[in-house]
Structure 1
Amino acid sequence: MKNLFAITMMVLAVAAMGPGREMGTPSRVNPPSAADVDAAQAARPDPAPNDAATASGLHVLEATTTTPEEFLWQARPVVVFADTAADPSFLVQIKALQDLPQPLIDRDVVVITDTDPGARSPWRQQLHPRGFSLVIMDKDGQVKQRKPAPWSVREISRAIDKFPLRLEEIGRAGVLP
C-alpha cells in the first residue's frame, strides 16, 4: 500500500510539473553549405553603385556610398559587416532581411552592408567590427545592439521596439508594461 501511495504521488508530482520544455526554433541560423553559397553568389546580380532600394522597398546601401550622419533622426541603420561577401553568416543575414522586409520598413530601417575591410568605410571606422557583425543603431546615431551572429527579422524588430525613441513613435512612452 505504501508503494502504491508513493508511486501515485510521484506521478502526480510529475504531472504537476507540466509538459517538458519544447524545442523552439533556435535564434541562431545554421550557415549554408558551400554549394548554397556558390548558388547564392551566382544568382546575386551585381548591385548598381547607388541602387538605394530593393524591389521590396527595403533600402539596402553599400557602406562606401553613405555615412552615419546621413541617417541621423531619419532612419535606423542596421549595419551588416563581413570580411567578404561570401561569408555564410553575411549571406544568411541578408537573405533573412530581404525575405521579410515589411517589419523593417515599418520601423524606418535602412540596411547598410560592408564586406570590404580594406575600403575603411566611415561605418567601419566608427563601429570597429571584427569578422561578421550585426549592428543595430537608433535614429539618434547610438549603437543599441551588436551581434556576432545573424538575427531574424523578428528578433531585430523586437529589439527596435524596446528603444526609447521607438516607444515614443508608437505612443507607448511612459506606459508601464
Structure 2
Amino acid sequence: MSAPITLGFALVFALSATLAAPLNAQEAPATAAVEVFAPVDGATADLAAYVWQKRPVVVFADSPNDPAFAEQLRLIEARWPELAARDVVVITDTTLDPASDIRRKLRPRGFSLVLMTKDGQVSIRKPLPWDGREIMRAIDKMPIRREEIRNGAAR
C-alpha cells in the first residue's frame, strides 16, 4: 500500500469516528442510572428526615391486597421518572397494628393518598387512587416547587 492511500484510509476512519462521537458532553447519552421505583416502608420511615429534602407521597391501605393500593402504586410507578425529578419519595403503609408513627400522625381511614410539601405539611389527601400526572400537577402548583422552577432547579 502506498502512503497516500494509507493516509486516505486514516482520514476517512478519523472523520467517521468524529461524526459518530457526540460533539460535546451534553449530547452524550446519559450514563447515570435512572432512579428505580422503590417505595419506603412506613414502619421504618421518618417524615422528619425528608423535610426540605423530598416531597413525601404516602400511600395507606388496611392491607397490601387492597385493589386501590395496588392501583395507586401502579399509577405512581408509570410516572416514576417524572415524579423522582420532582424530589418525590413514596412511602407505603399497610400495617394497622402496630400503627407506625406516620399512621398515627396522618390518621388515614382505609385507602388514602397523602401528598406532603418539602416543609413537612400535608398538601392534599385523596380517598381514591390518583394518577401520576395529577400528582405532578399538584406538586408543580406548590410555592416551593414554583421557586425551584424559577431558580432553574426544574429537571
Q: Distance in 1 between matches of 2:133 and 2:74?
A: 14
Rg comparison, structure with higher value: 2
Identity %: 50
Counterpart of 2:71? 92
| Structure with more relative contact order (C-alpha pairs < 8 Å, separation 6 or more) | 2
Q: TM-score, normalised by structure 1?
A: 0.64
Q: Distance in 1 between matches of 2:149 and 2:37?
A: 20
- Structure 1 equivalent of residue 142 of structure 2: 163
What is the rounded CA distance, in whole Å, between the counterparts of 1:59 and 1:136 in structure 2?
17
> 2:92 is matched with which residue?
113
Cα offset for 1:122? 1.1
Cα separation, 1, equivalents of 2:142 and 2:37 = 20
Q: Tell me the C-alpha RMSD between the 2 structures.
A: 1.4
- After the TM superposition, which residues 15-94 of structure 1 pair with which residues of structure 2 at under 5 Å, given as runs? 56-94=35-73
2:76 is the counterpart of 1:128: no
Contact 1:80 1:132 in 2 (8 A): yes
* Among candidates 142, 147, 155, match of residue 121 of structure 2: 142
Q: How far off is 1:76 after superposition?
A: 0.3
TM-score (structure 2 length as normaliser): 0.73
Number of equivalent positions = 118
Matches of 2:38 and 2:87, distance apart in 1: 9
Asked whether the equivalents of residues 59 and 109 of structure 1 are also in contact (C-alpha less than 8 Å), the reply is no
Question: Matched residues in 2 for 1:119 and 1:61: separation?
Answer: 17
Q: CA deviation at 1:59?
A: 4.2
Query: 1:132, 1:148 within 8 Å by CA — same for their partners in 2?
Result: yes
| 1:118 aligned counterpart, secondary structure | coil
Residue of structure 1 in register with 2:10 after alignment: none
CA–CA separation in structure 2 for the residues paired with 1:170 and 1:70: 23
